[in-house]
Every structure is written in structure tokens, then in C-alpha cells.
Structure 1
Amino acid sequence: MKNVSVRKIQEALVAKGFIPGEVDGIWGRRTIAAVKSFQQSVGLEVDGVIGPKTSAALFPSAAEMPSQPLLPWIAEAENLIGTKENLGSRDNPVILNWADSLDIHYPNDDVPWCGLFVAHCVGSTMSDEILPANPLGARQWERFGDPIDPRWGAILVFWRESRASGKGHVGFYVGEDDSAYRVLGGNQGNKVCLTWVGKDRFLKARWPRTAASLGGGSATVLVDRKEDLSNDEA
């Protein structure tokens, strides 16, 4: 995950004497640890999240702050756009490594991996966040974190085939129009991409509990839809 806002945060941490590892724009464990150490040093809640209070303490002036709060899980998701499962018996090792890093049994990328993608993006960037017991199951994300109205970065859960089927799809909210949500997710046409999912399939929106300080702000991002609704999520 290489991100301009992450790099600015890393540079500010170094200036304060907290070393996040290499200043590379990647939101990794050393950067999270440096943020927590800084928060502890200034008497803030130690959550590893750059919320408004941490941002104000970290940057000398408002002009130096990132233009918007950093949602590290979205930055990671955006970095992975274009990742595809391999056709046939050759699995994509990138996707398999997501499961290995989270100690999840995942046999091959023929198994639906939208839940695995969300688990990787959240788990690799929010080290204290508790993931669902079975993150591979899209509908398991209905119980993740805290409820929230659909908004930028929220985790959206949808039913698939039918509401009663138990099957589902999960991804991240990046926009909407009157009838559909714009979703950044995995296993959408066998890859990580942006697609539109009808609001009539929407079940719940959830938010990482350890990022509660980032849960405010604008509730909707309106987007002019030019594509058809998705019908290929598995």
C-alpha cells in the first residue's frame, strides 16, 4: 500500500522522533506501532488510528495535514485493484498469501474470496480489529464491528441468489446512485475491481470497531453510474 497520506504521516512521525520503519507510503505494522507510541506519549487513546485528535497532535498546522482522514483498509484495497484469480488449476499466490497471513484455511482461489479480500484489507492494516470467526463467509460480515449507515469506506454486505440462500457478497462502499452502491471488492468478475450492486440486495453496513473515531463525516458519495449492475461475484 503506497499512499501519499501515509507517507506524510510517516514523515511527521519521524519529525516527532517516532520511527515507522522506511518512509515508503506503506501502512504496515511498524507504522501502526509508531502511531501507538506517539499517541501514548501525548495522552491520546492508543488505537493506531489517525483520527482528528491524533492528526491535530501530529501535524504542526492544518495545512500540513492529509486532505482527508486516512482509512488504511481502503488504501490497501485501492492498491490491489486489478488482482485476479488465475484460470484453471494455477492459483494466484497473492490471494493465497492473504489467507496464510491471517491463518485462514483457504484451499484455492476457485473458492469465493470476497470475504478473504475484505479480511486482508482490514486485518493487515488494523492490527487490533477482531475479524469474523469465518471471514470467508460473506454473510459473516453482517456481525462484524459496529453498524453504520452506508458511507465512504464502510463494509457492505449483500445477499446473493436470494435473501434466504445464505450466500452473499461483501465489499467496501465507495459511492452510490439512486438504485445501487459502488463497491470496491474482490471476486467481482474474478478480480479486485469496482462494480455496482443493487440496493435491493443490500443487507447491512459495518464499520471497524477500532476505527470508531473515523466513523463520522459525509454519509453518501454520489456517483454518476454508467455501467450495468453486477451479476458476477463468485
Structure 2
Amino acid sequence: MDVLTVQKTLQYQGINPGDIDGIWGRKTVAAVKLFQKVRGLQVDGIVGPVTAQALFGIVPNTSTGQHETNAGPLVWYQEAVDLIGIREIPGRASNEDIIKWAVNLNIDFQNDDIPWCGLFTAHCIGSTLPDEVLPKHPLLARNWAKFGDSCTPRKGAILVFWRGQPNGVFGHVGFYKSEDDDAFHVLGGNTNNSVSVARIAKSRLIDSRWPRTASSISGDIVHTSTNEPFSHNEA
């Protein structure tokens, strides 16, 4: 579902979604919830087929056997895609965009020399799913194995990996983009010091998690092939 179209339609119907900017932010979520409340729908802030039918007059296609909100946007994943290329700044300076993610979530994060894959994940979830409960100490990658609900790895899922040793303390967290026979292609922060995609061996996976407030949305399993080498250090 195109976010800009959702915002324009909400505004046309007299509900203020905030800036018409194509960004799935808290004001847009709140506007969707208000629309759902007024129409007597389930109030979850997600534009799935039922809400889309009420908003646009679209009749859901149930012949494919898809679930209620397969058409709903993976807004947290889209936020991650939009940030590809963001890099930390070498030396004593820090990228202010990365610092701002922490400030907005009240996370103690002093500089981008600190591993920030967990912060990136927290920003993408927290800025687009305002009712979602983040894990305690989200900077620690392995803590994301306690986030939301366990799920089959699929597009948009939060993938948690061990780093160094399977039973150690270090890890990496990011979002499922696709997979091949041996590896997941993971969109994450602090990969080669930037927001980028790494090919991580499936044998390193600790768990795959899904946001609880987006339980009615389903991502696709995306198979692809590549000659890229495995990533061995995402810090």
C-alpha cells in the first residue's frame, strides 16, 4: 500500500495524517486508527484489506488464500530501505542522524563508534510502529531474540545472529531482505559501518522475530542467488 496515497485519502476524508510526505510516522498511524475507530473497524493502525476497502472502496481478493493484511505495508522494513547508505563518521565525530535515532527513543547512545545495529533496528520499529514494545537494552543485538513473536524468516522479519561464538555475548540484528540456500541477506545497521545488506550464514541464526502489533501482516519468503561471500563481522 502506497503511504502517500493513504495520507492523501485520509486528508480527503477529513482526518489529518500530518505532513503529506510518504513517510509512515506516528501521525499517520494515529490518523489510520482514528479512521478505523470512526468506521467501527479493528483499531490497529494497519491498512490491510478491510481498512483499505473502507478507505478506498477496494474489495479484498480472498481467492488467493492470502491472510487479512498481506496487502498491508511493511512500514518498518521500508524505513530501513530508505536509510540504506547512512554511514557512521570515522574518528571522534558522529553521524547526527544516528545520534538522533537514540535521542528520539530515549536510548543512551553517545557516539557511533558503539555498535549500532540494535539502535538501527529500534529506530525502524519505533518510528513506524509506535505501539510496539521494544526489547530491554535494544542496543544489545541478542536481546532482540526476545522481541515480538517468533516467526518463519520472511521479508521484514527481524533476524538475530550470534557473532564470535554461538554461546557468547556478541551478535548482530537486522531485517530479512531475501535468502539463498546457505545464507540470509540481511538489511541492517553497522554493516561495514553503514546501513547496508550483508550475506550471513543461516547456521548463525539465533531467531527470527515479528512485531506483535503487526501480527496480521505477512511478508514473503524471497529466494535469490548470489556469489557474494559470507559476512563474518558486522560490528
TM over 0.5: yes
User: Which range is displaced more, 24-33 or 141-150?
Assistant: 24-33
Alignment counterpart, residue 121 of structure 1, candidates 124, 133, 146: 124
Gaps of 5+ in 1: none
Instruction: Check 1:208–1:164 CA distance in 2 against 1; reply closer, same or farther (3 A cut).
Output: same
The answer on 1:222 being equivalent to 2:211 is no
Q: Secondary structure at the match of 1:213?
A: coil
Alignment counterpart, residue 50 of structure 1, candidates 40, 47, 64: 47
Confirm or deny: 8 A CA contact 2:158 2:208 kept in the other structure. Answer: yes
The answer on 1:32 being equivalent to 2:29 is yes
The answer on 1:147 being equivalent to 2:150 is yes
Residue in 1 that maps onto 2:234? 233
Q: What CA distance in whole angstroms lies between the structure 1 residues aligned with 2:219 and 2:142?
A: 26
TM-score (norm 1): 0.92
Q: Which amino acid counterpart does residue 83 of structure 2 have in structure 1? A: L
Q: What CA distance in whole angstroms lies between the structure 2 residues aligned with 1:89 and 1:144?
A: 32
Please report the RMSD computed on the Cα atoms of aligned residues, expressed in angstroms. 1.7
How many aligned positions are there?
227
Cα deviation 1:137-156 (Å, max 9, x = unaligned): 00000000011100010000
The answer on 1:137 being equivalent to 2:140 is yes
Cα deviation 1:76-103 (Å, max 9, x = unaligned): 1111000000001011111111000000
CA-CA distance at 1:164 after TM superposition: 1.1
Q: What CA distance in whole angstroms lies between the structure 2 residues aligned with 1:125 and 1:117?
A: 13
Q: Which amino acid counterpart does residue 82 of structure 1 have in structure 2? A: G
CA-CA distance at 1:170 after TM superposition: 0.3
Q: What CA distance in whole angstroms lies between the structure 1 residues aligned with 2:182 and 2:175?
A: 17
Gaps of 5+ in 2: 61-69
The answer on 1:178 being equivalent to 2:181 is yes
Q: Which amino acid counterpart does residue 23 of structure 1 have in structure 2? A: I
Q: What CA distance in whole angstroms lies between the structure 2 residues aligned with 1:232 and 1:84?
A: 16
Cα deviation 1:45-79 (Å, max 9, x = unaligned): 2121222322222122359xxx9421110111111
Q: Secondary structure at the match of 2:57?
A: coil
Q: What CA distance in whole angstroms lies between the structure 2 residues aligned with 1:45 and 1:181?
A: 34
CA-CA distance at 1:15 after TM superposition: 2.7
Cα deviation 1:173-229 (Å, max 9, x = unaligned): 010000000111000000001111100101100000000110x354x1001213111
| Correspondences of 1:177-196 after superposition (within 5 Å) | 177-196=180-199
Q: What CA distance in whole angstroms lies between the structure 2 residues aligned with 1:22 and 1:119?
A: 23
Q: Secondary structure at the match of 1:81?
A: coil
Alignment counterpart, residue 14 of structure 2, candidates 13, 17, 20: 17
Q: Which amino acid counterpart does residue 30 of structure 2 have in structure 1? A: A
Q: Secondary structure at the match of 1:185?
A: strand
Residue in 2 that maps onto 1:100? 103
TM-score (norm 2): 0.92
Q: What CA distance in whole angstroms lies between the structure 2 residues aligned with 1:100 and 1:165?
A: 29
The percentage of aligned residue pairs carrying the same residue is 50
Confirm or deny: 8 A CA contact 2:49 2:71 kept in the other structure. Answer: no
Q: What CA distance in whole angstroms lies between the structure 2 residues aligned with 1:62 and 1:193?
A: 37
Q: What CA distance in whole angstroms lies between the structure 2 residues aligned with 1:175 and 1:113?
A: 22
